[in-house]
Chain A
Amino acid sequence: MEVHVSRPVLRALDEPQVLYAMASIQPAQQEGEQVAPPLNLSLVFDRSTSMAGERLDTARVSAESILTQLRPQDKIAVVTFSDRAEVLLSTELTLPVSEARQRLSMIQASGGTEIYQGLSAGVNQLRQVRHPNSVDHVILLTDGRTYGDEAACLQLAEEAAQEGIEITAMGIGDEWNDSFLDSLATKTGGQAVYIDNIASLGPFLQQKFLGLGQVHADQVVVEVETTPGVTLHSAFRVNPAPMPLHEGHMLRLGSLFAGNNITLLMEYLVPPITPMDSYEISRLHLGAHLAKRATNLRTVLSLSLPVVNEPVPAPIPGTLLSAVRNVNLARLQEKALADAQTGHLNLATTRLERIATRLFEMGEPDLANTVLGESSQLRRTHSISEKGKKAVKYGTRGLVDPKHGGRLR
């Protein structure tokens, strides 16, 4: 783990000051030729009435394609749900591909959306086969809102996280509840994905499947211990899959994929301080599950800086600067959408317009126009569309890491 900070020193001030720290977690250099860890994958598909047609067909075809690529050590479950769940393929069964396909072809769309039913069956499938060297992952696909069981789902996600199970939550179309899927995924270090165009589902699942088969580490966690008086003001996973992390001091970061880093941006608020040689702002306790070696890694890093009277000019690393800028935009957008929801329309439109101004400056005219469009719609109709909301949210979030953006078109 490597940490870059926005300033080489803190200043002796009698007011609070902000310090940004960007932690980058890299795979160990010498991995050697080791067998890839087994992947236990649970695909949980919504089969409510609204999924009928292209949505469910694409999901089925994607699952079939994954079936034929499983390695000998992998296990897969396919669960469908409406107001109840069916386990079509179980992690405990070995079936000939033709029969597995046959079972998938029987998926019929009908009924409502009760995510807990599907999620709980999907997680249980993994519980039955997980062991110390497996990578355990649930991919949830839904196009609707679940009613009344959100709290149960979040509780289940919490338990799953503690058992080392990660959840990727994918929303198709415009009707699903983005803040709910965000929380569900964040709790486990996973990712929430907006599938704007169903054609992008297959490639995304394929990429996810290949990545999961080759993880260097999963269950990557950074526990941020702050010196008394220091607050962790915010934390955001920059890469991969940009997501705000709002779960207190325990930051679940998900999986470390081959050829990739996990990058985490933290914003600290440091209390008034006097000059000293070294001030410890925080300790970062890094934990990770090294599936290949069936071990857990734990290490700690101290973030300490000298405190001086005069500022020391120093260049700010470009990656840190652009990450702070993009995360700032993503946060301002969250505030604007919250304003719109609570009826503070003037504030919401002002904030959206400010975001659009920055986006134009940054050379993102498409997204800027989307944001402006939503702002003027908000002015006219006093509400923001579900589609617009998601386009703004996952679009700005995607700026943070264009490769693994939140919106798939």
Chain B
Amino acid sequence: MATLTHQDSATAEQLVITGGARKTFITIIVAGVVVLILGILAQVMGWGAEEHAAAGEATGHLGASAGHGAGASLHEEGSSTLVKRIIVSLWHSNVFFLGVSTIGTVFMAINYVAYAGWSVMVKRISEALSAWIIPGAVIMLVVFLLGRHDIFHWTHEGIMDKGNPNYDAIIAGKSGFLNLPFYLIRTIVYLAIWAFFSYKLRQLSLAEDQLGGTVWFHKSINASALFLVLYAVTSSMSAWDWVMSVDTHWFSTMFGWYVFASWWVSGISAIALTAIFLKQAGYLKALTSNHLHDLGKLMFGFSIFWTYVWFAQFMLIWYANLPEEAVYYNQRLGGFEGHYTGIFFFNLVINFVFPFLGLMTRDAKRQMIMMKIVCIAILIGHWSDFYLMFMPATLKGESGFLIEIGIAAIFLGAFLILFTRRLASASLVPVNHPFLDESIHHTT
């Protein structure tokens, strides 16, 4: 009988990362490397023909029938596509993991500002999620500086100079916003804001653990409120910069929300999934199905929110059918000989239909197994949502899955190592949080 005040009060719990867990993370990275190497081999040797069969790529046929001469020229093309695929995959996975990582801080900040008590039980998870921001930021800057030409059309030489053979009047018209110094400054500002507030909130939270008192709570609320205002602007702008500007000619006013919705629902799923894993490993003793129920409601609701934003963007473009806008969906629905048609519909099914039907009942949200399945589906689904945002613009019909999944697995393994290390570096229960009792006695 779940009622108030009958539970034991929570005490500090220290996560111990077992050798088995560490081995699992390393295995994920190794598996990623193996898949990546397989993907590289497939690309170089032209086994990609199978992968690209759906795209009906002519190169495969050429490679099979033509002699050495054609083979050599193919190789050259293949290797440049190869580099491109690796760089775009790095960017793609990094944007996804960096976004999810930041959502940890955003989730915590929203709960602070709302004076929410129930979420205190998972607060340390959201704090630890942001452990990836700094490495993610470094990777982002390095990939941008080294590989920007393979990702962003607007960085091409001479594209904004009149008279140059590369000149593109539309892109030149955007040079006030999309130019290298301003872009770099913006990116660094977003990352610095996110990293600073993640650090700040984490420090306040740790000080609260050590010293107690409500002063840390009030300081956290101030920091959170400021962060949320800044995040509202930077999340939207980073979506234009990092994601939308790969399709330089195209624009959508919904895009900031669309990317945020993707990050946000993935971040909540990551928090819920971690909470379940910790609970099943015997930690978070005061976490009950009531907390899972609330996380499940958020996942359910924001899956619908994502769909709403997705559809709002799709339907207006579909209805107006203006060529410069509709090209975005032409490429994804049937373009490149149907290369993306399958993943386009897969994306809708796994990100909307599955969470919608799967989490509809109360029991489903309160059962670990169902929540676990849906969490994993949402994380995979939104990774492929970002796949669909990046690939058609950068790789046209050349994208595949082996390299992309390999790189994503390497990111996942590295992410988990840093994430769990931060989880283990403090008590899993913020023992001095003023709302801790409310969270322990939370009923839904």
Please say whether chains A and B are actual partners in one complex: no
List residues of A whose CB falls within 8 A of some B CB: none
By a beta-carbon cutoff of 8 Å, the part of chain B in contact with chain A is: none
